[in-house]
Amino acid sequence: LERDLLEVQQEGARAEGVPGDCFEPGKLTHGSLAGRRLPSLNRAPEEGPRVSSLSGKKNGLYLEGSICGIQCLMLVDTGANVTLLRTDLAQKLKEQLIYTGPNISLKTAPGEKTEIRGKLDASIECGSRKFHHRIYVADVTDPCILGLDFLKKFNFTVDLEKNEIRTGGEEIPLFSASVQHLKSCSVLAKKRTIIPARSECLIQGVPEVSEQFRYAVTDFPSQVSQKGVLVAAALVDLEREAIPVRVLNLNNKPKILDEGAVIATCEPVVDILVRPQEFSGEQHLPSSLDNLEILDEGQRTAVRKLFKEFQNLFSTCDADVGRCNMTQHRINTGDHPPIKQYPRRLPLARKEEADNLVKEMVDNGIIEESSGPWASPIVLVRKKDGSTRFCVDYRKLDEITK
């Protein structure tokens, strides 16, 4: 063994340009490995939670959403590898918050560091969809930072040209931080207009400040006192050449609106465009419709019509499983310590099959990656048709479940 160690040391010395005769058996001498920092073997590069900056940026892009029912602005940060929640908002979710030790810190691109105070498995709502994801708690300026882990996991696409983010057929607009401070803008009359007595006119207007936000709702300008004049609320696109403003004159004499006069205000709105899913012309109805021999022709027609009307209630494939967001399932194990069973060895021929089944469930949103003290072994069961059913042996867990 000493001879083998000596040979290894001499080989290492030659690779570093150190003469082999500097080594003596049984000790490290000057010029050999003494005073040298040995390279670490099998050590991964230093990784940890990263974020672009701890403080908000004026050129950052935000979207409106909620975390566990708490409405907040979310910064989309592709430079962050984790999703973060500000500490004061996390305090409202104490029951779900898991506190972490002070050994985990968050690093920024400029080199700043701050402590990760905890983590929680949260329900994040963006647009009309809800996503379940693990987020970390830290002292950051923005209420929430959506990191690359969240964007990649749920297949988000960020379009900087259109300032929008897309997922699952929805287009959610992104806006800069300055929009949050700009609550409204004035709409000015494009040209001099006379509204007849007790009449309504459609007046062309232009935004006082352009390119701040696109979609807005028009309202009566509170800073201008015009008795007997009403402005209809309407959804308008500020990128158009002119904004149509419907103005009603309730007075018994004409009302004059000069060019450049404030005729309305616009408040920004968030537009979520839901694109309809494309379906093929062929309608796939449940296979149970093929076995309706006990019914007469009229009854079969009525059943087919009923199934076709409510076909969205039936799964069309194995990946079409649906999800109920009305409640959150919990398993009550009382004070029993976590049960962590070792995985059972699978035959090599079935290991690839198990990996494919796990990947398929992850891609379909049935399961997600997690790290916890509970673990149960998987069981692959061969079905009658030759396919495989992926099962988990939860018998130990069932014994302690109340």
327-336 contact pairs (CB < 8 A, 24+): 328/123, 331/397, 331/401, 332/401, 332/402, 333/397, 333/400, 333/401, 333/402, 334/400, 334/402, 336/400
Helix (H) or strand (E) holding 118: strand 113-126
* Listed residue (15, 133, 122, 148) closest to 69, CA to CA: 122
How high is the pLDDT of residue 185? 79
Q: Where are the domains of the chain?
A: 57-176, 185-273, 348-399
Give me the phi and psi of 91, to 5 degrees please: -65, -25
pLDDT of residue 397: 92
Quickly list DSSP for 307-327: HHHTGGGS-SSTT------SS
In the 3-class helix/strand/coil scheme, how is 253-277 assigned residue by residue?
CCEEECCCCEEEEEEECCCCEECCC
pLDDT at residue 289 is higher than 70: no
In terms of pLDDT, which residue wins out, 272 or 240?
240
Rounded to an integer, the average pLDDT of 394-400 is 93
- 63-72, 261-270, 389-398: which is most confident: 389-398
For position 220, what pLDDT does the model report? Answer: 72
Pick from 169, 156, 175, 139: which is nearest to 61 by CA?
Answer: 175
* Mean pLDDT score, 160-182: 75
- What would the CATH number be for the domain defined by 57-176? 2.40.70.10
Residue 42 pLDDT > 60:
no
Mean pLDDT (the chain) is: 76
pLDDT of residue 213: 66
CB 76 within 8 A of CB 154: no
What is the pLDDT averaged over residues 332-345?
91
Instruction: Name the residue with tokens 């003469």.
Output: 19
DSSP code of residue 24? B
Query: Quick one: how far is CA 62 from the chain centroid?
Result: 12
DSSP annotation of 21 reads: G
Greater model confidence, 44 or 354: 354
75/62 Cα distance (integer angstroms): 4
* Of the listed ranges 23-27, 78-82, 198-202, 226-230, the one predicted with least confidence: 23-27
* pLDDT digit string, tens, across residues 53-98: 655 555 688 888 899 888 888 999 888 888 999 988 888 887 677 7
Does the pLDDT value for residue 272 go beyond 80? no
Task: Please say if the pLDDT value at position 307 is more than 50.
Answer: yes
Residue 312 has what pLDDT?
73
pLDDT category at 110 given cuts 50, 70, 90 is low
- Digit-coded pLDDT (tens) for 29-40: 444 434 444 344
Tracing tokens 């300008």 back to the chain, one arrives at: 221
pLDDT of residue 376: 93
DSSP codes, 355-393: HHHHHHHHHTTS------S-B--EEEEE-TTS-EEEEE-
- Position 399 scores a pLDDT of 93
Say which CATH topology domain 185-273 has. Deoxyuridine 5'-Triphosphate Nucleotidohydrolase; Chain A (2.70.40)
Band (pLDDT 50/70/90 cuts) for residue 339 is very high
The pLDDT of residue 32: 40
Q: What is the pLDDT of residue 291?
A: 66
Task: Calculate what percentage of the chain has a pLDDT beyond 70.
Answer: 70
Using a cut of 0.75, tell me whether the model's pTM lies above it.
no
Q: Which CATH superfamily is domain 348-399 in?
A: HIV Type 1 Reverse Transcriptase, subunit A, domain 1 (3.10.10.10)
Answer yes or no: is pLDDT of 257 > 50: yes
Q: Is the pLDDT of residue 341 over 80?
A: yes
Mean per-residue pLDDT, 118-139: 88
Separation of CA 194 from chain center = 51
Percent of the chain surpassing pLDDT 90: 16
pLDDT at 276 (0 to 100): 55
Give DSSP secondary structure letters for 188-224. EESS-EEEPTTEEEEEEEEESS-SS-SEEEEE--TTS
Query: Residues 6 or more apart from 395 whose CB is under 8 A from it?
Result: none
Q: Which of 51, 270, 57, 319 is nearest to 165 (CA)?
A: 270
Residue holding tokens 């049960």? 339
Classify 15 as helix, strand or coil. Answer: helix
Amino acid at 228: G
Whether the per-residue pLDDT at 259 is higher than 60: the answer is yes
Q: What pLDDT, on a 0 to 100 scale, did the predictor assign at position 398? A: 93
Residue 378 near residue 394 (C-beta atoms within 8 A): no
Q: What is the DSSP letter of 120?
A: E
| Cα 246 from Cα 224, distance rounded (Å) | 16
- Report CA-CA distances (Å) from 55 to 58, 241, 255, 322: 10, 37, 50, 38
| pLDDT-derived band at 303, boundaries 50, 70, 90 | confident
